[in-house]
Amino acid sequence: MSLDKATVLRVARLARLKVRQDRLEPLAAELNNILGWVEQLNEVDTDDVPPMTSVVSMKLRWRDDDVTDGGAVDDVLANAPEGENGFFAVPKVVE
């Protein structure tokens, strides 16, 4: 499996990373280098091996259905780059 420029661009879009045109080729080479290296995993037959779900042997713990949080709009918004009237603000989305 080898990444071309178009794939790099598609992946960058998915990851919301702006990549300059002249960076596409070198980035493709870097990623191919790493992906080529990890492909050694194909040497191992894993057909009957279950994937790891967690390294801790315990059951998922549940919380009670109690309202214990919220009501801190100032703290929630304190770090927002932009916002007003208790809202976060982003460039207008048209849908």
Partner 1 sequence: MSMIQGATGDWEVVIGLEVHAQVSSKAKLFSGASTEFGAEPNTQVSFIDAAMPGMLPVINGKCVEQAVRTGLGLNAKINLYSVFDRKNYFYPDLPQGYQISQYLQPVVGEGRVTVDLADGSAREVGITRLHLEQDAGKSLHDQHPSMTMVDLNRSGVALMEIVSEPDMRSSEEAGAYLAKLRSILRYLGTCDGNMQEGSMRADVNVSVRRPGEAFGTRCEIKNVNSIRFVKQAIEYEARRQVDVLEDGGTIDQETRLYDTDRGVTRAMRTKEEAHDYRYFPDPDLLPLELDPNWVEAIKQSLPELPDQKKARFEKDFGLSPYDADVLVAEKENAEFYEQVVATADPKLAANWVITELFGALNKAGRGIDDSPVSAEALAGLIVRITDNTISGRIAKEVFEIMFETGKPADAIIEEKGLKQVTDTGAIEAMVDEVIAANPDKVADVKAGKDKLIGWFVGQVMKASQGKANPQMVNDLLKAKLLG
Partner 2 sequence: MAGLTDLTIAEARDKLTAGEVSARELTEAHIAAVEAARPLNAFITETPERALAQAEASDARRRSGEAGVMEGVPVGIKDLFCTKGVLTTAGSHILDGFVPPYESTVTANLWKAGAVMLGKCNMDEFAMGSSNETSYYGPVENPWRRPGDNRSIVPGGSSGGSVAAVAARIALGATGTDTGGSIRQPASFAGVVGLKPTYGRCSRFGAVAFASSLDQPGPITRTVRDAAIMLRGMAGFDPMDSTSVDTPVPDYEAALTGDISGLKVGIPKEYRMDGMPAEIEALWKQGIEWLKAAGAEIRDISLPHTKYALPTYYIVAPAEASSNLARYDGVRYGLRIPGNDLTEMYENTRAEGFGTEVQRRVMIGTYVLSAGYYDAYYLKAQKLRTLIARDFETAFEEIDVLLTPTAPSAAFGVGEKSDDPIAMYLNDVFTVPASMAGLPGISVPAGLADDGLPLGLQLIGRAFDEETVLRVAGVLEEAAVFDRRPENWWATK
Residue closer to partner 2, measured from CB, 58 or 67: 58
Q: Which is nearer to partner 1, 26 or 76 (CB)?
A: 76
Q: Pick from 28, 35, 23: which is nearest to 4 by CA?
A: 28
Structure token digits, residue 4: 């071309």
Q: Look at phi and psi of residue 20 and say left if phi exceeds 0, alpha if psi is from -120 to 50, else beta.
A: beta
- CA–CA dist 29, 33 (Å, integer): 6
**Exposed/middle/buried for residue 12 (C-beta within 10 Å: 0-12, 13-18, 19+):** middle
Query: Is 92 among the residues that bind partner 1 (CB under 8 A)?
Result: yes
| 2 part of the interface to partner 2, by CB under 8 A | no
Which residues are at the interface with partner 1 (CB under 8 A)?
14, 16, 53-54, 56, 58-73, 75-77, 82, 84-95
Note the residues at the interface with partner 2 (CB under 8 A): 1, 3, 7-8, 11-19, 27, 30-31, 33-35, 37-44, 46, 49-58, 60-61, 63, 72, 75-76, 78-82, 88, 90-93
